[in-house]
Amino acid sequence: MINNYVGKLIVYTGSMFSGKTTQLLETLRRFQIAGYSTMLFKPSIDTRYSISEVVNHPKNYRFSAVSIEYIEDIERYAENVQVIGIDEFQFIKSIFGPLKTINKLLLRDKTIIIAGLDIDFQGRPFESMKEVLPVADYVYKLHAICVNCGQDAWISHRITDEGERIVIGAEEKYQPLCRRCFYRVTQGK
Ligand X SMILES: Nc1ncnc2c1ncn2[C@@H]1O[C@H](COP(=O)(O)OP(=O)(O)O)[C@@H](O)[C@H]1O
Ligand Y SMILES: Cc1cn([C@H]2C[C@H](O)[C@@H](COP(=O)(O)O)O2)c(=O)[nH]c1=O
Residues that bind ligand Y (CB under 6 A): 16, 20-21, 48, 88, 117, 120-121, 156, 165-169, 174
Q: Which helix (H) or strand (E) holds 115?
A: strand 111-117
Do 38 and 82 meet the contact criterion of CB atoms below 8 Å apart? yes
**Min dist. Cβ of residue 109 to ligand Y (A):** 28
Query: Is residue 16 a contact residue for ligand X (CB under 6 A)?
Result: yes
The piece of 28-36, 71-79, 103-111, 142-150 that touches ligand X (CB under 6 A) is: 142-150
Q: Does 71 bind ligand X (CB under 6 A)?
A: no
Partners of 133 in the β-ladder: none
Q: Are 24 and 85 in contact (CB under 8 A)?
A: yes
Q: Does 146 bind Zn ion (CB under 5 A)?
A: yes
Is residue 148 involved in binding Zn ion (CB under 5 A)?
A: yes
- Per the rule left: phi > 0, alpha: psi between -120 and 50, beta: everything else, 102 is alpha
Give whichever of 90 and 175 is closer to Zn ion, judged by the CB atom.
175
Is 155 annotated as belonging to a binding site? no
16 labeled part of a ligand binding site: yes
- Closest to 36 (Cα-Cα) out of 87, 135, 109: 109
Is position 10 annotated in a ligand binding site?
no
Listed in sequence order, the residues at least 6 apart from 84 whose beta carbon sits closer than 8 Å to its beta carbon are 38, 39, 40, 41, 74, 78, 105, 110, 111, 112, 113
Judge whether 88 counts as a catalytic residue. Answer: yes
Binding residues for substrate: 166-169, 174
> Contact residues for ligand X (CB under 6 A)?
16-22, 56-58, 144-145, 147, 176
